[in-house]
Amino acid sequence: MPDVISLGIGEPDFVTPHPILAAGVRSLEAGKTGYTSNSGLLELRQSISRYLERLYGVGYDPEAEILATVGVSEALYLTLTAILDPGDEVIVPQPCFVAYTAEVQFAGGVPVPLGTRVDNDFQVTAADIEAKVTPRTKAILIGYPCNPTGAVISREHLAEIVAVAIKHDLLLISDEIYARLVYSGFQHVCIASLPGARERSVLLGGFSKSHAMTGWRLGYVAAPAELLAAMRKVHQYTIMSAPTPAQWAGIEALEHGDEHVEAMVAEYDRRRRLIVGGLNQLGLDCFEPKGAFYAFPSVAKSGMNEVEFADTILSEEQVAVVPGSAFGEGGDGYVRLSYATAYEKLEKALERFARFMRRHG
């Protein structure tokens, strides 16, 4: 379809910052093209350890508690495969990244969906989680800042969730791939930094969103040594090791990439204010997303459901959005828009939204 403005895929429109690119190129030119340790380069794991300590005050042993993975997708697969027995339940707050439910099922587990609500800014609560706990519950899987809603979660809510996990002896799986992309003065809270959480937490992180490195396929998992050892077994027999040039680039990203992250975050914030303000002016009610790079407006004013809205605006105005129901419970009546695209394209998209709503609002 010609002239489509895609607000669909959640991928930075930035090229990987040049110093990070150059580090990967240097590794190739130096002939570093073989396997690394199954766990990843020790230098990378040491950089990840320093990074988590510097940003969140959480310490992990690079030798035994950190594993380099092929993106956070592999990190999640390893985690669930290592911890779940057939029939084990995992509580999955939704709307959420589309892979969460499927990955639980792939690992033989039973996903237990738990819808969140806009009146609580799409934050999951400890009370809602506890109501879903059964004798088969093994873990709670959360992802904040959230794809697709852009929601963040407060320290208070997280602390209450940790208390529920301790009470029922549950594992906490926290996907923090968007941790660096936060706005409005919000400070991301790493779940493992909370009292009592580290020993039962699996922390998933990576480079794709914060450092514009989606195609490098590099992530990591940090967890207590016993848990990580089980994940490493799955990893070594399915993947062997993460891509070697990506690992050298990852070291540069963690050691010297903050200024590039901050510049990208500032631009995302500018786009965020444009798209959220524009949607609200059109009557497509959108709460303020304080993380990631997604807006999640209600389409109720159009009189359509979310699938009809997405199909119709694509065919009539050539704007691609994703129906909220694709992301699970709580997504009905919403669509997801990624603002990880150029400011000028977002301005054009809003003009097309305005024309569309004049006909359908």
Domains, the chain: 5-14+259-360 (3.90.1150.10), 18-257 (3.40.640.10)
Residues contacting 196, CB < 8 A, separation 6+:
162, 163, 166
DSSP 192-207: GGSTTTGGGEEEEEES
Tokens in use for 2? 């010609």
Give dist(CA 208, CA 156) in Å, integer. 28
Residue range 172-205, pLDDT digits in tens: 999 999 999 999 999 999 999 999 999 999 999 9
User: In the chain, which stretches have pLDDT less than 70?
Assistant: none
The pTM is what? 0.96
Structural element, H or E, at residue 351: helix 343-360
DSSP 254-282: HHH-HHHHHHHHHHHHHHHHHHHHHHHHT
Tokens in use for 300? 């109720």
User: For residues 90 and 138, is the Cβ–Cβ distance under 8 A?
Assistant: yes
Residues in the chain: 361
pLDDT of residue 62: 98
pLDDT of residue 361: 78
pLDDT of residue 140: 98
